[in-house]
């Protein structure tokens, strides 16, 4: 049941009986603010022209009529132009029965819309780091939430597997690697390639310093340092299909993909399709050529291709370098075209950090000027950076927080803290390992996803594993606690899943039911706003409400059989919604802990 629609209908009947016909748009229903008594509020101000009376008198008249006409309402109060309505407990009992009977509770019916979500988008010159973790977790969770809203979701990864940055790692390995491989070094392939990206930067800086010492201006030295000139030549050879360069590229990329797959598996994210920049940049080049023919782009004297967006309040944007090599924008044009043409998308969401806001503003505008109307259906889900207490990360200098190290540290910290608090008592070694992995990953994911995506966030690993407060482990422990109650009921032979239940609720039970009723609306809002943080806040509040209720009321020891059955059913539904909500964040919850 949609409660807002139900109340809108009841309000319409009362307003029409009192004052005459009313438009649906004039009947504004919203949840009552927490500081006031009531469940839902009718905003009276839009109805004053009809009533020709003051807001308080109008609200009093409508409230009296609605309560008299609707048995589900037990009372109302008026605060200025706001009519706060209060439902009978029996109404909430009915809603609880609806929830228990709905196997897909919280999930919308299919919409027929196809939405593609791109996330991860790593470069193959370094391993994944903490920034990638936020990107992956956000993209995966948003995909889960959109699917729960009834959309067909295609999760994709665009691997940036070509370009000057890739050539830097390749060249450094060629010059200084002495044939080192993941097998010979014992390193994951992505870590090994990342090592040579840092190595390149070290030699590059040394060469710049030497040229500057010889009297060359620093900007000129950056362009003329021998190692960067070699890297640029390697990129030109790659684009012309040089067999030796391509073979080295395939070998080193293979190392990286194997490493990435292990990290994705550990993180619990996946993709329906992987695109490679090396396979889309040529299509992008063709689109640039078409744009030149149409007069959308122009060529400069050095043979580079640009678009002038100054009339749109932006600047001139490079689309193709003078030597014919492509830039990010080139391949993004090709990739966007391929995706919309192949999949008939209704929407394309790019999960990319806020440092790329301008890039996506330009991408949409360029596609629009090329005549692709689907450019209006591109959305950049821009998110803030993840910072550490020590400050920002720099991959060239090797000061990033490595994703693999962080995952291992989170599991290790979860084990240490769980043992200290006795959370693993009675668990087998296998169960303890599974719980520690679940809690460590749950802590990491929840800590990152509970923050509004647009905000820059400070990540504190130890704070994230606290078993108290707004954390993943607190919610996971609440779920495990509920499952323990239900197991004990089953072991004691208590039949609770069927049969008559009490409808005589205490206030805390009504509050829990009201919160459960909100779940579909929260899932809908999270989908509309691309915000897992809304799900996180909801599930935390539900866990907190349950813990307060559990502290004050007996469940297994309740002597009245129908009350006990109702309380166990309530436990079951709270556990179910916690598990579903956390799953939308990509987080598993333990059965025991």
Q: What's the DSSP call for residue 177?
A: -
Residues in the chain: 593
pLDDT digits (tens, 9 = 90+) for 193-216: 999 999 999 999 999 999 999 999
CA distance 73 to 96: 17
pLDDT of residue 53: 95
Burial tier of 15 (Cβ tally within 10 Å: 0-12, 13-18, 19+): buried
CA distance 384 to 402: 18
Bridge-based pairing state of the strands 378-383 and 386-387:
unpaired
Helix (H) / strand (E) element for 404: namely: helix 403-420
> Hey, is 273 helix, strand or coil?
strand
367: Cβ contacts below 8 Å, ≥ 6 apart = 333, 336, 374, 375, 378
pLDDT of residue 393: 43
User: Could you give the count of Cα atoms lying within 13 Å of 58 in the half-sphere of its Cβ?
Assistant: 21
CA distance 155 to 283: 22
- Both structure tokens of 590: 């333990």
- Both structure tokens of 437: 């992995």
Contact 546, 574 (CB under 8 A): yes
- Starting at the edge strand found earlier in the chain, the sheet holding 316-320 runs 298-299, 305-308, 316-320
Distance from chain centroid for Cα 92 = 32
CA distance 448 to 443: 9
- Both structure tokens of 328: 């990010």
CA distance 63 to 43: 12
pLDDT of residue 395: 42
CA distance 475 to 483: 13
CA distance 309 to 361: 11
CA distance 248 to 168: 12
- Both structure tokens of 115: 């939405």
Bridge-based pairing state of the strands 273-276 and 152-159:
parallel
> Hey, is 124 helix, strand or coil?
coil
pLDDT of residue 391: 52
The stretch 447-473 carries a mean pLDDT of 88
- Comparing 151-165, 209-223, 460-474, the range with the smallest average pLDDT is 460-474
DSSP string, 414-465: HHHHHHHTTTTTT--HHHHHHHHHHHHHHHHHHHHHTS-TTS-EE--HHHHT
User: Residue 390 — very low, low, confident or very high, per pLDDT cuts 50/70/90?
Assistant: low
pLDDT digits (tens, 9 = 90+) for 271-327: 999 999 888 888 999 999 999 999 999 999 999 999 999 999 999 999 998 988 888
- Name which residue leads in pLDDT, 16 or 280: 16
pLDDT exceeds 90 at position 466: no
Please give, one letter per residue, the 3-state secondary structure of 8-45: HHHHHHHHHHHHCCCCHHHCEEEECCCCCCCCEEEECH
CA distance 536 to 541: 9
Contact 140, 155 (CB under 8 A): yes
pLDDT of residue 394: 47
**Tokens 């228990």 label which residue?**
100
pLDDT exceeds 50 at position 479: yes
Q: What is the mean pLDDT of the chain?
A: 93
The stretch 532-555 carries a mean pLDDT of 97
- Both structure tokens of 137: 């977790």
- Name which residue leads in pLDDT, 131 or 115: 115
Which residue in 24, 27, 135, 129 sits closest to 83, CA to CA?
27
The torsion angles phi and psi of 358, rounded to 5 degrees, stand at -65, -40
Contact 460, 539 (CB under 8 A): no
Contact 440, 429 (CB under 8 A): no
User: Residue 399 — very low, low, confident or very high, per pLDDT cuts 50/70/90?
Assistant: low
Burial tier of 215 (Cβ tally within 10 Å: 0-12, 13-18, 19+): exposed
pLDDT exceeds 80 at position 388: no
- All domains of the chain, ordered by start, with CATH? 3-87 (3.30.1360.70), 119-387 (3.40.50.620), 443-584 (1.10.730.10)
pLDDT of residue 113: 97
User: Residue 120 — very low, low, confident or very high, per pLDDT cuts 50/70/90?
Assistant: very high
Q: How many CB atoms lie within 10 A of CB 21?
A: 8
The stretch 119-139 carries a mean pLDDT of 93
CA distance 467 to 568: 24
The stretch 85-105 carries a mean pLDDT of 95
CA distance 217 to 585: 51
394: Cβ contacts below 8 Å, ≥ 6 apart = 400
pLDDT exceeds 50 at position 397: no
């Amino acid at each position: 049941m949609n409660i807002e629609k139900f109340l809108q209908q009841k309000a319409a009947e009362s307003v029409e009986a009192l004052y005459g016909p009313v438009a649906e748009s004039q009947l504004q229903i919203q949840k009552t603010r927490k500081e006031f008594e009531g469940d839902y509020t009718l905003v009276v101000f839009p109805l004053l022209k009809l009533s020709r009376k003051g807001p308080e008198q109008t609200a009093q008249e409508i409230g009296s009529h609605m309560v008299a006409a609707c048995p589900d309402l037990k009372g109302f109060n008026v605060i200025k132009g706001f009519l706060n309505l209060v439902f009978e407990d029996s109404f909430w009992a009915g809603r609880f029965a609806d929830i228990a009977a709905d196997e897909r509770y919280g999930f919308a019916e299919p919409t027929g819309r196809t939405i593609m979500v791109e996330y991860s988008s790593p470069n193959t010159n370094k391993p994944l780091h903490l920034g990638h973790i936020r990107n992956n977790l956000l993209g995966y969770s948003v995909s889960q939430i959109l699917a729960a809203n009834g959309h067909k979701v295609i999760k994709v990864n665009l691997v940036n597997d070509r370009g000057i940055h890739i050539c830097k790692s390749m060249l450094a390995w060629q010059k200084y690697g002495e044939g080192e491989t993941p097998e010979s070094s014992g390193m994951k392939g992505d870590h090994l390639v990342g090592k040579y990206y840092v190595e390149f930067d070290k030699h590059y800086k040394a060469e710049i310093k030497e040229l500057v010492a010889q009297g060359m201006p620093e900007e000129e030295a950056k362009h003329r340092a021998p190692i960067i000139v070699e890297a640029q030549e390697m990129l030109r050879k790659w684009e012309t299909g040089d067999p030796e360069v391509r073979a080295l590229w395939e070998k080193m990329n293979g190392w990286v993909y194997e490493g990435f797959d292990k990290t994705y598996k550990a993180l619990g994210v996946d993709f329906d399709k992987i695109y490679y920049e090396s396979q889309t940049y040529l299509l992008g080049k063709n689109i640039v050529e078409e744009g030149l023919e149409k007069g959308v782009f122009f060529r400069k004297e050095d043979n580079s291709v640009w678009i002038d967006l100054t009339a749109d309040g932006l600047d001139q944007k490079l689309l193709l370098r003078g030597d014919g090599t492509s830039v990010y924008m080139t391949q993004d044009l090709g990739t966007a075209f391929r995706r919309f043409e192949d999949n008939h998308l209704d929407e394309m969401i790019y999960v990319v950090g806020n440092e790329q806001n301008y890039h996506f503003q330009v991408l949409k505008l360029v596609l629009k000027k090329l005549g692709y109307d689907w450019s209006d259906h591109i959305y950049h889900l821009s998110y803030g950076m993840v910072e550490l207490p020590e400050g920002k990360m720099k991959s060239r200098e090797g000061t990033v927080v490595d994703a693999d190290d962080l995952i291992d540290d989170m599991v290790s910290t979860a084990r240490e803290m769980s043992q200290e608090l006795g959370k693993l008592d009675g668990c087998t070694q296998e169960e303890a390992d599974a719980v520690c992995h679940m809690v460590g990953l749950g802590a990491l994911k929840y800590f990152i996803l509970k923050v509004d995506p647009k905000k820059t966030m400070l990540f504190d690993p130890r704070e994230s594993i606290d078993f108290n407060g707004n954390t993943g482990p607190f919610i996971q422990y609440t779920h495990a606690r509920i499952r323990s109650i239900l197991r004990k009921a089953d072991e004691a032979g208590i039949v609770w899943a069927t049969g008559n239940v009490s409808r005589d609720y205490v206030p805390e039970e009504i509050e829990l039911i009201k919160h459960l009723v909100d779940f579909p609306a929260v899932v809908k809002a999270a989908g509309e706003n691309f915000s897992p943080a809304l799900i996180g806040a909801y599930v935390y509040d539900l866990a907190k409400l349950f813990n307060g209720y559990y502290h004050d009321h007996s469940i297994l020891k309740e002597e009245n059989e129908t009350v006990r059955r109702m309380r166990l059913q309530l436990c079951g539904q709270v556990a179910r919604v916690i598990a579903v909500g956390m799953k939308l964040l990509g987080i598993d919850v333990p059965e025991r802990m």
